[in-house]
Chains A and B, each alone.
Chain A
Amino acid sequence: MLYFISTILNGLTLGSIYALIAVGYTMVYGIIKLINFAHGEFYMFGAFVGYYVLILVFGGKEGGRELGMFALLTAALIAGLATGILAICVERIVYRPLRKSGRVVALLAALGVSLLLQNYAQQGVGAKVKTFPNTFTVQRYPRERIEPSSLVVGEIAERDAAVIYSVPKDDGRLTQIDNVAQSGNKIAASDVAKMNAILQRSANDGSAAAVYRFPAVTVSNNYGVIILALAAISALLYGLVQHTRFGRAMRAVSHDFDAAALMGIDVNRVVAGTFFIGAFVAGVGGTLGGGMYYSKIFPLMGVTMGLKAFVAAVIGGIGSIPGAVVGALALGIAEALVIAYGNRLHAGLSLYSDAVTFAILILMLLVRPSGLLGKPASDKL
């Protein structure tokens, strides 16, 4: 039961990161019917802005001291603003001149922007994976303290069990100092020796290290940050779209672009604003999801996330903001379930979560192209 609950929480977190990207996809598609392939790169851009803010403004270092929640949230906010400005520039320079061209032409331009951002990032910040600065100590549950002597050498670490050496601080928070015998690897005699050496050393200097065992699926406190961020952003977006003049203009433009223009709505401003909001959310998602949660950032990090988020937007009904959130959460939970339970059905099935994602996409496109919450397409002719 605990395993199931942690799987669902895991999925909700993953889904929340997808949702932060999918919202922008769906808003842009709703307004100008463009699949903005560069949206995944906005997520990447946001993660890098967050990284540089934490390092340059808050003095963080890769693997350095914890910077705290305030620093993380400030970095996320600045990343969102910077990404939003980037999106406005991209829209103004590339997408606006193409608004009257065919959809496929615009799609190609979007591919071009996506490639440009990826390739430029590879030249500028380098293709190497960077570790996001620490912002707060990640605690994983459930966990179980074990003695190294209870491990059997040669046995495969049971149920993807990972054994991690940790130093409990005074307040009971654990900090990882080393990590061996991961995910179904064989426990080697050298592993046990290494553990004993570290325990011996910590007993001598009084730092009190201990060995803990974690199951394959765990819940951590950083899940809460992501899920709360999504909840806050969703609420803000709902208020913006439903209860402000700008939101009404957005809905009007999404409903009928030309009629909205004829009614005196400044469509260029609305489109630019939509790009800004979508990219802002993706930038925040980049810092919190790609940076804080995954803690590994690299120029191509937006490719898979962007594709999956797009799948989420299609599942939810592209053009619908609540649909994007629902679709993303559903996709996140589905992936987490495949990863957690796949191996129980058939050995190795857990590895196919990507295939499952895209199979869901294709099924959805065939059975209900308008998505879970989308309106059925009206242009049958």
Chain B
Amino acid sequence: MTFDHAFAFWGEHLIIVAIWLVLTLSLNLINGYCGLFSLGHQGFWAAGAYAAAATVKYMPPGGEHNWLGVFLSFPIAIFVAALFGLIVGLPCLRLKGDYLAIATLGFSEILRNVIQNSEALGLSLGLSPPNVVQNAVGTNATYAIYLVLCWAAVALTVIVLRNLIDSSHGRAIQAVRDDERAAELLGVNLTFYKVFVFVTGAAFAGLAGALFANFNSFVTIGHFDFNQGVMMVVMVVLGGMGNMRGTAAATILLYFVGNVFLKWLPAVSVPVFYDPTQGGIVYSQIKDLWQVLYSVLLIVVVLVRPQGLLKGVDFRIPWRKKAAGI
């Protein structure tokens, strides 16, 4: 592996994992801190990504060096996703628990159906905006730029959400999760905070979408299917709902296990099924069994530690623990 290859390989994974971190941390605000169980985060992500891709592709000067499109794609993606957050948040106010989960899933399915049949958004073939950054500075510099950009986005997400959670608004949001009725009696405006949480979470998903669309310079509806949404929820849940460090740890762990480490496993096939129509015993490569393993992992974690795999794990850095006097 030459330096260029290694740089591209690790660069791409580090960029995508940063995008996932923005997604799971913002989903953690909705699902974890506010207790609104949403299964529709992939819809907000898709809304942002398509908005960004369409902006880069169709913004007036157009062409291979559409810098205006790239710069505008970020605010537009965030705005569009936040708008969808508002559209989803308002009607879902009256729903709770599993009904809310189904309604948010319904919204993302509607969005998927509409995108898939929209001529301007490339039907099911998707959109390929020009990769403006790469056209200007070449491949290696593009990876470097997006690495900085995506991790800056993670930092922004962490700072904004951390400050939000520690503010009085954050306390109100957590009060809504812990006991909606008691929170309302104490003067917490339920409507405002629920919609606010959806809009904020969706806005960050839109940011992730803009980063993804610009970096990948190709979006198709398959990038944002239901399984991606489930993956996000699994990361938040394994991290212990309402636990930013846990969510981040679970995201990084699951991403690298699923996308990098498993590919390094030796080629060992194991029997998985007996099927005479396929000529007897069916074998699978162990690295292909990750999807099966991770569904089993999800079930086991829910059974053994329903509060989350990493809940209660102290992620604080040792010297900060000392400073806090623990």
Contacts and interface: CB of A to CB of B under 8 A. Distances in A.
B153 to A, nearest CB: 28
B91 A359 contact: no
Contacts, number: 130
A34 B91 CA distance: 23
B14 interface: no
A262 B24 CA distance: 44
A113 B296 CA distance: 8
A123 B303 contact: no
| Prevailing SS type, chain A contact patch | helix
Nearest to A308: B109
Interface in A285-331: 303, 307, 310-311, 314
Interface string B93-113: 011011101110111011011
Contacts of A108: 233-234, 237, 298, 302
B299 A365 contact: no
B284 interface: yes
B107 A354 contact: no
Given A352-B114, A352-B117, A105 B103 contact: no
Contacts of A119: 291-292, 295
Contacts of A172: none
Contacts of B306: 98, 101-102, 105
Contacts of A228: none
A161 interface: no
A94 B299 contact: yes
Interface in A333-381: 348, 351-352, 354-355, 358-359, 361-362, 365-366, 369, 381
A118 B230 CA distance: 13
Top 6 A-B pairs, shortest CB-CB distance: A124-B273, A116-B295, A112-B298, A115-B295, A358-B106, A119-B291
Given A107-B98, A111-B233, A362 B106 contact: yes
A169 to B, nearest CB: 28
A98 B94 contact: no
Contacts of A311: 106
A124 B110 contact: no
Contacts of A361: 102-103, 106
A109 B299 contact: yes
Interface string B120-157: 00000000000000000000000000000000000000
A55 B277 contact: yes
A352 B113 contact: yes
Interface string B73-104: 00000000000000000010011011101110
Contacts of A98: 302-303, 306
Given A35-B101, A108-B298, A115-B298, 20 more contacts: A56-B277, A94-B303, A102-B306, A104-B98, A109-B299, A123-B272, A123-B282, A123-B289, A123-B292, A307-B105, A307-B109, A351-B116, A352-B113, A355-B110, A355-B113, A358-B110, A361-B103, A365-B94, A366-B91, A381-B181
Interface in A30-87: 35, 52, 55-56
B275 interface: yes
B295 A112 contact: yes
Contacts of A113: 295, 299
13 contacts: A52-B275, A108-B237, A112-B298, A115-B291, A116-B295, A123-B289, A125-B278, A351-B113, A352-B114, A352-B117, A359-B106, A366-B91, A366-B94
B278 A126 contact: yes
A310 B102 contact: yes
A136 interface: no
Interface residues of B, number: 47
B296 to A, nearest CB: 6
Contacts of B278: 125-126
B245 to A, nearest CB: 21
B215 interface: no
Contacts of A112: 295-296, 298-299, 302
B178 interface: no
A248 interface: no
A103 B98 contact: yes
Interface in B296-319: 296, 298-299, 302-303, 306
Contacts of B289: 123
A4 interface: no
A361 to B, nearest CB: 5
Interface in A115-167: 115-116, 118-120, 122-126
A104 B233 CA distance: 11
Given A35-B102, A358-B106, A359-B110, A123 B288 contact: yes
Contact of B276 (A56, A124, A303): A56
A185 B203 CA distance: 41
A352 to B, nearest CB: 6
A35 B106 CA distance: 15
Chain A CB within 10 Å, residue with most, of B97, B105, B292 = B292
A351 B299 CA distance: 36
Nearest to A353: B113
A292 to B, nearest CB: 18
Given A111-B233, A112-B302, A361-B102, A103 B296 contact: no
A264 interface: no
